[in-house]
Chain A
Amino acid sequence: MLTLEPRTAGPLRQVLTPVLAIVATMIAGGILFMLLGKNPVEAIKIIFVDPLFDAYSRSELLVKAAPLALIATGLSFGYRANVWNIGAEGQFILGAICGGAVGLAFYGIDGWFVLPLMAVAGMLGGFAWAMIPAFLRTRFNANEILVSLMLVYVATLLLSALVSGPLRDPDGFNFPESRQFHDSATLPILLQGTRVHIGIVIALLVSLVGWLVLQRHVFGFQIKLMGAAPRAAHFAGVSTNRMVYLCLGISGALAGLAGMFEAAGPVGQLVPSLPAGYGFTAIIVAFLGRLHPAGIILASLVLALTIIGGETAQYLLQVPKAAISVFQGMLLFFLLAFEIFTRFRLRRSGAGATA
């Protein structure tokens, strides 16, 4: 009989698990496309390989990876401490709304201060939205998973109410969208002819800071302690409530910043279709990156690849947009499944086992 013995995984297995998961996803995805009557090899090539050999797609990879990395870095703090913020999508939307509203309030006013102000507003918006589940969990013991998730639906409706109401473009023929942000409310472009913006640099900086906090700061230690041994953390004087507020607050603020970047960067205005699922995809990024800042950077690139490849597959293979989430869900499945090899050792035991 086979039994599982717990073990601590070496660094090699930590890296190997996500790689294996990606390969398994490609195989299973190919089989799925075959069942749907598409050419599996071509489908996998379109989604996972082709974007790498096209200059514009490569730059778009950075554009899509930046918000993912930002959000996932924030989420990874909470997930390490068993604080489950599932509503990053909602915090992302609130960040876009608040940042965008500031940009629209200063419409036509040029000045270096507009963008920083928008960024602060975006972070505050995401932060405030994340404080709702934090407060309800610490004060009323309400499950933060369900509360933060319900707030995603509320945020989506709020965005569409605002862009067809107070934030609507006055010259926009009643379309539910805001004005285009003017130049000083738009993120500077780093590479001419692409959409690569300053947010990518900030995402890198944030993950560096995240790594430092996790490795060198007492807060990082407390997070790990609370995730690994909640009772020990309690006795060591780590306040659960404080950790819930901090974890949700950080991830909310970063998701809000990502939302503001998306609105002031690639999109350039507030539209109801702004929430593109980054908040949910970032959950997978966090796990695929093994909740480690460096891993998250790599994982965000991989997931960005599936987003871009999925968009191409959408019109080349005539598959719906949501087909990407099949891949993303499978990726998370395989990752969680293969994790068993890092956490446990298979051992023959019982009758007939050799000692």
Chain B
Amino acid sequence: MANNISPVLLFASIIAAAQPLVFAAVGEMITEKSGVLNLGVEGMMIIGAIAGFATAVTTGSPLLGVLAAAIAGAALALVFGFLTQVLLANQVATGLALTMFGLGLAALIGQPFSGVKPPPFPKLDLAVISDLPVVGPLLFNHNLMVYFGLVLVALIWAFLTFTRTGLTLRAVGEDHDAAHALGYNVILIRLTAIAVGGAMAGMGGAYLSLVRVPQWTEGMTAGSGWIALAIVVFGTWRTWRVMLGAYLFGGVTILQLNMQIADITPLWLVVLALFLAAVSVTVRSFRSSAPASPWMIGLWFTTLLAGSIAIRHPVSIPTEYLNMAPYIATILVLVAMSADKLRANINAPASLGRVFHRTG
């Protein structure tokens, strides 16, 4: 296994690893498009994970499990919706409460289910095509949830881009007062968007407990819900970019796991990142024909330094540091995406997080 990672299998496993994030992030994007910031994704995911798991184990049907997860996620989301839309509660605080409540409730419900094996999830089985080299494992050998997720993302994209209702949803997110004045029911539209976001987060959770891991452990979401929130920012509230962002993060996780198995010094990744940054800075400075900046020289110097350290000391790094990768990557991505205010805000719903209070 060491030093022998098949790229095809790697990509297949990235798709599998990223799927919960695709569900949760695209769901949250819909909610945010309607102008609501729901920080409770983590809570809705874990509730989906246990609801899906418990239902699948007791009924023996994983598909019923996914359905139950969607319902549970939506139900929890509607608690958030009721508080923030009807009772006008603070969205940040309510989202946090949702996460804490969800984590606790999932642990309570899940207590009898730890150590239980769920029924296997049905895979797409196309006999011949699945066995094709490269294309087979990459495209035709996933479980049904991956394809369902893809179809769902396409539908959501089409809904937001082409339909009148999608336009209304976005209008509510841009300016709830104007939408209200035009006669749209802002609260109802937002509640629907919140419920859809919750259902998708729930399905993402069910994917975790039924397909990805398949087992139930307390706190098994381990921050994916929060990462999903960051992915929405990364994807600048655009459906396909959000999905791409989810795959990127799935990639980070898988790469990190593979590095642990293959014993590659992660310092090489740092060297690579520094090298790419140095190249891009240099290319940019050539284009603008500006004099070499201290930044550029510093970057090249650090690249060389890190490279020589990596050659001289092939240290293996404790797994804890490697496990930090997805979280640090999230921070870096947030920084990179938010730094350019214009680009970051161009698609951000203008009413995001603002309380709508209907007067008169």
**Chain A residues close to B by CB (< 8 Å):** 3-4, 6, 32, 36, 84, 86, 136, 140-143, 145-147, 149-151, 153-154, 157-158, 160-161, 164-165, 280, 283-284, 287, 318-330, 332-333, 336-337, 339-340, 343-344
Contacts and interface: CB of A to CB of B under 8 A. Distances in A.
Given A329-B98, A332-B93, A336-B90, A150 B328 contact: yes
B334 A143 contact: yes
6 contacts: A32-B108, A150-B331, A320-B108, A322-B103, A322-B107, A332-B94
A141 B320 CA distance: 29
Given A142-B338, A158-B320, A326 B328 contact: no
Tell me what chain A mostly uses at the interface: helix, strand, loop, or mixed: helix
B83 interface: yes
Given A4-B357, A325-B103, A332-B96, A141 B226 contact: no
B79 interface: yes
Given A3-B360, A344-B88, 17 more contacts: A143-B334, A146-B229, A151-B331, A154-B324, A160-B320, A319-B108, A320-B107, A322-B103, A322-B218, A326-B107, A329-B43, A329-B97, A329-B99, A332-B97, A332-B100, A336-B89, A340-B87
B219 interface: yes
A147 B329 CA distance: 11
B188 to A, nearest CB: 15
Contacts of B222: 153
B223 A153 contact: yes
Interface in B307-341: 318, 320-321, 323-324, 327-328, 330-331, 334-335, 338-339, 341
B331 A343 contact: no
B51 to A, nearest CB: 14
A84 B92 contact: yes
Contacts of B104: 322-329
Contact of B101 (A321, A333, A343): A333
A153 B87 contact: no
B285 interface: no
Contacts of A3: 358-360
Nearest to A341: B87
Contacts of A84: 92
A280 B331 contact: no
B251 interface: no
A154 B101 contact: no
A326 B334 contact: no
Contact of A150 (B94, B330, B357, B358): B330
A129 to B, nearest CB: 12
B103 A86 contact: no
B334 A328 contact: no
A337 B321 contact: no
A4 B359 CA distance: 8
B338 A283 contact: no
A348 to B, nearest CB: 14
A287 B331 contact: no
Contacts of A336: 83, 87, 89-90, 93-94, 97
Contacts of B105: 32, 326, 329
